[in-house]
Amino acid sequence: MAGRLLKVSSLATAVFASSGFYLYSRQLDLNDLSVVRFGRAAATTAVISYDYLTAFKHVEHGTDEYWAIKSKVHRRSAERLRDLCCANRGTFIKVGQHLGALDYLLPEEYTSTLKVLHSRAPQSSMEEIQQVIREDLGKELSELFVSFEEKPQGAASLAQVHKAVLHDGRTVAVKVQHPKVQRQSSKDIMVIEVLVRAVHWLFPDFAFMWLVEEAKKNMPLELDFLNEGLNAVKVSNMLADFPFLKVPMIHWDLSTKRILTMEFAEGGQVNDRDYMKKHHINVNEISENLGKIYSEMIFVHGFVHCDPHPGNVLVRKCPQSKKTEIVLLDHGLYQVLQPDFRLDYCRLWQALINSDMSGMERYSRRLGAGDLYPLFACVLTARSWKAVNAGISSVPVTHSEDVEIRTNAAQYLPQISELLNRVPRQMLLLLKTNDLLRGIETTLQTRASSSSFINMSRCCIRAMARHKRSKARSGRRRLQITLAESLSLWKLSAYELLLWLKGSMMGHWLAALLALLH
């Protein structure tokens, strides 16, 4: 028996030694091995699960001690998850960033911890970047560019961007995919799916398969940079009437599935108030214009840029006109809304803005929320049920309401998970987009401004009128619809003017004059 054990151990030693020599000779990074990445993810999942299973054994549910321990467990688990994403990189960082954006769907301990992943993305070496360019474009850097900055302008989970100058003198941004991401992504998603199913088996209330399904669908699109270039051209043409929007032009001759070369656009991040102050950029104007862009995308066209985190939305003074511009970057992830879904979504927001509770219930149910429609309204608006009932356009956001929402997010996590598994897949990216935009508005201190609701209402009216005109069978009916649309838009403009007068110096002067005359 001892001899057999000795033989087995000797054989195992030889196998491990030869494996180590093979890996060393091939200069392979252990992090590239699927077994290492899976093992790391499985170990992290096991530790987090064990923590949740054992932390509350001797604590009475609902007590102050229980909530304090729960917050600590959330924080520990979020930190472990963050470290796992940083270690496995690529798809893991992308999924972690997605979770970090779900401010009103996940406990604050998770979102605040995972938000750092936007600034903790990996960087590829210059040798790796040159290799990708050599493989895809068939030329050396010096043949394509006069200069190519080695330090990237920014690094993300899937790629990094370098500033370069073409031989004709034009400055461009070159987005190059991390060389290993394409190969690892499908395996990583499979790993995440297995582990999410295992956690769901342990904790039935943990229903996050919607996240896996979204990653499966969206990751191949985000890894195809030619698709990103086509999206950029489409949205630029679609929103050509907005002079304040800048979408960098694509250089198709220097672009492939792994490389995207575009016009270089400088600017400060949309949440950088100091940059705006320094360059005399009006914060309210930026917030209002960003709202116009997204209302037009969502309600009118149903073609929505779904990754508006601050690094992808820049603000600047146009070098030529000196007017304020919003520069929209990273067009890899767009959601195409089905017409029926888009129109129901329009009707739901109209009901929410107008405090139409029966309409809110009806269209929430039509969008799949069922009996969870009150929770759906709160998740969609990031407002309390009390504010929804009172009218989100008339009740200002308070700090106490924000605290209440975050507390409820932790308390109602099972119901939120159930809701997210119920609603159409299109809704998930819209919720993520809403949360990212709200995060920007919170930083700019422009949340729930009247102008944002007016812009949304205006787009909803136009979208509904366009739909009715397409169904109208006579010219007379189309004329009636157009007149009704014009009247509704005129009322909104009059209301907007009234609000402006109330807030302006002229409004105060008129009020004082009327009081004096009275």
What number is the average pLDDT over the span 306-317? 87
Q: Does 318 score more than 60 pLDDT?
A: yes
Least confident of 52-61, 146-155, 273-282, 403-412: 403-412
Q: What's the pLDDT at 518? A: 58
Model confidence band, residue 261 (pLDDT cutoffs 50, 70, 90) = very high
Q: How many Cα atoms sit within 13 Å of 89 on the Cβ side?
A: 22
Q: Which residue has the higher pLDDT, 367 or 27?
A: 367
Q: How far is CA 23 from CA 27, 33, 126, 187, 507, in A?
A: 6, 10, 23, 20, 75
Residue 224 a catalytic site member: no
Distance separating alpha carbons of residues 307 and 501, to the nearest angstrom: 36
Model confidence band, residue 515 (pLDDT cutoffs 50, 70, 90) = low
User: pLDDT, tens digit, for every residue of 76-118?
Assistant: 999 999 999 888 888 888 888 878 877 656 778 888 898 888 7
The kind and range of the H/E element at 473 are none
Model confidence band, residue 406 (pLDDT cutoffs 50, 70, 90) = confident
Residue appearing with tokens 């030329």: 139
User: pLDDT, tens digit, for every residue of 5-27?
Assistant: 344 344 444 444 444 444 444 45
Model confidence band, residue 511 (pLDDT cutoffs 50, 70, 90) = low
- CA–chain centroid gap for 513, Å, is 48
Least confident of 238-242, 339-343, 466-470: 466-470
Q: What's the pLDDT at 506? A: 53
Least confident of 71-75, 296-300, 367-371, 453-457: 453-457
Q: What's the pLDDT at 105? A: 67
Q: Please state the domain extents for the chain.
A: 28-118, 121-264, 339-504
Q: In one letter, which amino acid is 143?
A: E
Task: Using a pLDDT cut of 90, give the percent of the chain over it.
Answer: 31
Distance separating alpha carbons of residues 289 and 295, to the nearest angstrom: 10
Q: Does 3 score more than 50 pLDDT?
A: no
Residue appearing with tokens 């409820």: 408
Least confident of 106-110, 218-222, 321-325, 356-360: 106-110
User: pLDDT, tens digit, for every residue of 465-498?
Assistant: 888 888 888 888 889 888 988 888 887 777 667 7
Would you state the structure tokens that stand for residue 141, as one six-digit string? 């850097």
Q: Which residue has the higher pLDDT, 30 or 98?
A: 98
Q: Which residue has the higher pLDDT, 450 or 340?
A: 340
Cα radius of gyration (the chain): 26
Q: What's the pLDDT at 158? A: 87
Model confidence band, residue 510 (pLDDT cutoffs 50, 70, 90) = low
User: pLDDT, tens digit, for every residue of 106-150?
Assistant: 778 888 898 888 767 778 899 999 999 999 999 999 999 999 999
Distance separating alpha carbons of residues 266 and 242, to the nearest angstrom: 19
Q: Which of 272, 307, 402, 435 is catalytic?
A: 307
Least confident of 145-149, 211-215, 250-254, 358-362: 211-215
Q: Which residue has the higher pLDDT, 58 or 232?
A: 232
What number is the average pLDDT over the span 350-362? 89
Q: How many Cα atoms sit within 13 Å of 221 on the Cβ side?
A: 17
Q: Rounded to the nearest 5 degrees, what angle is found at the Cα of 151, between the Cα atoms of 150 and 153?
A: 125
Q: Does 248 score more than 90 pLDDT?
A: yes
Q: Kindly report the average pLDDT of the chain as a whole number.
A: 83
Determine if residue 383 is left, alpha or beta; phi over 0 gives left, psi from -120 to 50 gives alpha, anything else beta: beta
What number is the average pLDDT over the span 365-374? 92
Q: What's the pLDDT at 137? A: 94
Q: Which residue has the higher pLDDT, 217 or 247?
A: 247
Q: What's the pLDDT at 448? A: 56
Q: Does 401 score more than 80 pLDDT?
A: no
What number is the average pLDDT over the span 183-198? 84
Q: What's the pLDDT at 5? A: 35
Instruction: Give 475: exposed, middle or buried? Use CB within 10 Å, 0-12, 13-18, 19+.
Output: exposed
Q: What's the pLDDT at 319? A: 80
Model confidence band, residue 28 (pLDDT cutoffs 50, 70, 90) = low
Least confident of 3-17, 147-161, 363-377: 3-17
What number is the average pLDDT over the span 415-428? 82
Model confidence band, residue 214 (pLDDT cutoffs 50, 70, 90) = confident
Q: Does 244 score more than 90 pLDDT?
A: yes
